[in-house]
């Protein structure tokens, strides 16, 4: 499991409240990860974002640039948004400290997905068809990237996002504006978003994180009605009735 997959899983896990006297209240945990689309290592070092995506579109970042980005990111999940020529370059990305690759399926060779220690996030086309989304299950993907989420989505747009999340069966990484509203973020989370990605100065990223922390808790599925059953050995035994019959029979035999 890559750092990205582990971080998403931890953010979506519901922790039980501490019990007992003196139990401290745990710090609030974000139910969405805020990620930065960064131009260079300097932007990475300054941001409070939980996930980093280095923007390498239209160029080939050097090994030194990748290593600098890894150093600036620390222990945070670090991805690269760039074209990769094949299995060899993908292995080099992992060696340089890249955790996941955001790729365009139209231009990326299939061999680039053979590096098992590298996570992969596919960039989805606009309005992907059902068969396309279902076919993604055969790929070793960490998530699905949705570019430019709608602002104040209509019901139809929300249904479309829900369809992508349900059929794709992977967490969504969604690009949003740095000033995305609380309602927009709640809608994205409900559709299956695990990470929201944006550009912006550190203070704007921090403000977006505060908005995420203010979201209401995730809805949980209604529990099915509990079925009460007795352990084996405590259920009524039919032999008890036989004993009663025997006693009655015996009593009848004793009567002259």
Cβ neighbors of 217 (< 8 A, separation 6 or more) are 14, 31
Q: What is the CATH number of the domain that holds 193?
A: 3.20.20.70
In a domain, 179, yes or no: yes
pLDDT score of 254 = 47
Question: Which pair of structure tokens corresponds to residue 28?
Answer: 């609030």
In this predicted structure, the answer to whether residue 46 has a pLDDT above a threshold of 70 is yes
In a domain, 82, yes or no: yes
- Is the whole-model pTM more than 0.85? no
Judged on CB neighbours under 10 Å (0-12, 13-18, 19+), 45 is middle
Task: Give me the percent of the chain exceeding a pLDDT of 90.
Answer: 62
CA dist., res. 84 & res. 60, Å (int)? 9
Residue 149 confidence class, pLDDT cut points 50, 70, 90:
confident
**What mean pLDDT comes out for the span 84-110?**
94
| pLDDT, tens digit (0-9, with 9 covering 90-100), for 1-32 | 789 999 998 887 765 555 555 545 555 678 89
pLDDT score of 248 = 47
Q: Tell me how far CA of residue 229 lies from CA of 36, 72, 120, 222, 226, in angstroms.
A: 52, 57, 46, 21, 10
Residue 44 confidence class, pLDDT cut points 50, 70, 90:
very high
CA dist., res. 256 & res. 254, Å (int)? 6
CA dist., res. 198 & res. 44, Å (int)? 13
| pLDDT, tens digit (0-9, with 9 covering 90-100), for 127-141 | 899 999 999 999 989
Q: Which residue has the higher pLDDT, 155 or 12?
A: 155
What rounded mean pLDDT belongs to the chain? 84
Residue 253 confidence class, pLDDT cut points 50, 70, 90:
very low
In a domain, 153, yes or no: yes
pLDDT score of 222 = 45
In a domain, 149, yes or no: yes
In a domain, 248, yes or no: no
In a domain, 39, yes or no: yes
The beta-carbon contacts of 121-127 under 8 Å, at least 24 apart in sequence, are: 121/4, 121/79, 121/145, 121/173, 123/147, 124/164, 124/168, 127/160
Q: Which residue has the higher pLDDT, 16 or 61?
A: 61
Total domain count, the chain: 1
In a domain, 246, yes or no: no
| pLDDT, tens digit (0-9, with 9 covering 90-100), for 188-233 | 998 889 999 999 999 999 999 999 999 998 765 443 344 444 454 5
In a domain, 17, yes or no: no
Q: What domain range includes position 66?
A: 29-213
């Amino acid at each position: 499991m890559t750092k990205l997959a582990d971080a998403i899983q931890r953010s979506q896990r519901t922790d039980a409240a501490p019990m007992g006297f003196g139990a401290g209240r745990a710090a609030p945990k974000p139910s969405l990860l805020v990620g930065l689309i960064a131009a260079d290592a300097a932007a990475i070092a300054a941001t409070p974002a939980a996930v980093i995506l280095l923007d390498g579109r239209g160029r080939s970042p050097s090994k030194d640039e990748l290593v600098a980005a890894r150093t600036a990111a620390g222990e945070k999940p670090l991805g690269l948004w760039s074209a990769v020529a094949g299995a060899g370059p993908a292995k080099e990305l992992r060696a340089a400290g890249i955790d996941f690759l955001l790729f365009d399926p139209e231009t990326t060779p299939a061999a680039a997905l053979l590096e098992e220690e590298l996570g992969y996030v596919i960039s989805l086309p606009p309005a992907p068809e059902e068969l396309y989304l279902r076919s993604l299950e055969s790929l070793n993907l960490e998530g699905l990237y949705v570019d430019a989420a709608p602002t104040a989505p209509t019901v139809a747009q929300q249904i479309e996002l829900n369809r992508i999340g349900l059929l794709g069966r992977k967490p969504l990484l969604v690009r949003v504006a740095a000033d995305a509203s609380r309602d927009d973020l709640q809608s994205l989370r409900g559709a299956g978003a695990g990470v929201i990605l944006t550009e912006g100065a550190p203070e704007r990223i921090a403000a977006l994180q505060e908005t995420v922390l203010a979201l209401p808790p995730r809805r949980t599925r209604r529990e099915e009605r509990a079925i009460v059953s007795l352990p084996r050995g405590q259920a009524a035994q039919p032999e008890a009735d036989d004993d009663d019959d025997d006693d009655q029979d015996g009593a009848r035999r004793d009567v002259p």
